Structure 1
Amino acid sequence: MTYVERLRVPSWWWLVAALLVASVAMAILAYVPWQQGVVIVGLFGLAVAVVVFSYGHTAVSVVDGVLHVGRYTLEGRWIAGVEPLDRDESAHAMAAGANPRDFLVTRPYITDLVRIRLNDAADPHPHWLISSRRPQEFAAAVEAISVGSA
Structure 2
Amino acid sequence: MAPHSDVAPLADTDRYTERLTLPWWLWLCALGLAALLAAEVWMGAPGVRAWLPFAVFLPLTAAGLVWFGRIRVAVTDGELRVDDARLPARFVADVIALDVAGRREVLGVGADPLAFVVQRPWVAGAVQVVLDDPDDPTPYWVVSSRDPVRLANAILAARPAPSGGDAG
TM-score (norm 2): 0.81
Q: Which structure shows the higher helix fraction?
A: 1
Work out which structure has the larger RCO, using CA pairs closer than 8 Å and 6 or more positions apart in sequence. 1
Percent identity for Structure 1 against Structure 2: 33
1:61–1:32 distance in 2 versus 1, CA, 3 Å: same
Distance (Å, rounded) in 2 between the aligned partners of 1:140 and 1:34: 58
Q: Are 2:60 and 1:41 aligned?
A: no
Distance (Å, rounded) in 2 between the aligned partners of 1:37 and 1:129: 46
Once the two structures are superposed, the pairs formed by residues 1-150 of structure 1 within 5 Å of their partners are 2-30=15-43, 33-146=46-159, 150=162
Give the secondary-structure state (helix, strand or coil) at the position aligned to 1:2: strand
Do the aligned partners of 2:128 and 2:142 also contact (CA within 8 Å) in 1?
yes
TM-score (norm 1): 0.90
Distance (Å, rounded) in 2 between the aligned partners of 1:139 and 1:9: 22
| 1:2-27 deviation digits (Å, cap 9, x = unpaired) | 10111111110111111111111111
Aligned partner letter, 2:63: V
Give the secondary-structure state (helix, strand or coil) at the position aligned to 2:70: coil
In the alignment, structure 2 segments of 5+ residues that lack a partner are 1-13, 163-168
1:108–1:34 distance in 2 versus 1, CA, 3 Å: farther
Distance (Å, rounded) in 2 between the aligned partners of 1:52 and 1:25: 17
Aligned partner letter, 1:63: T
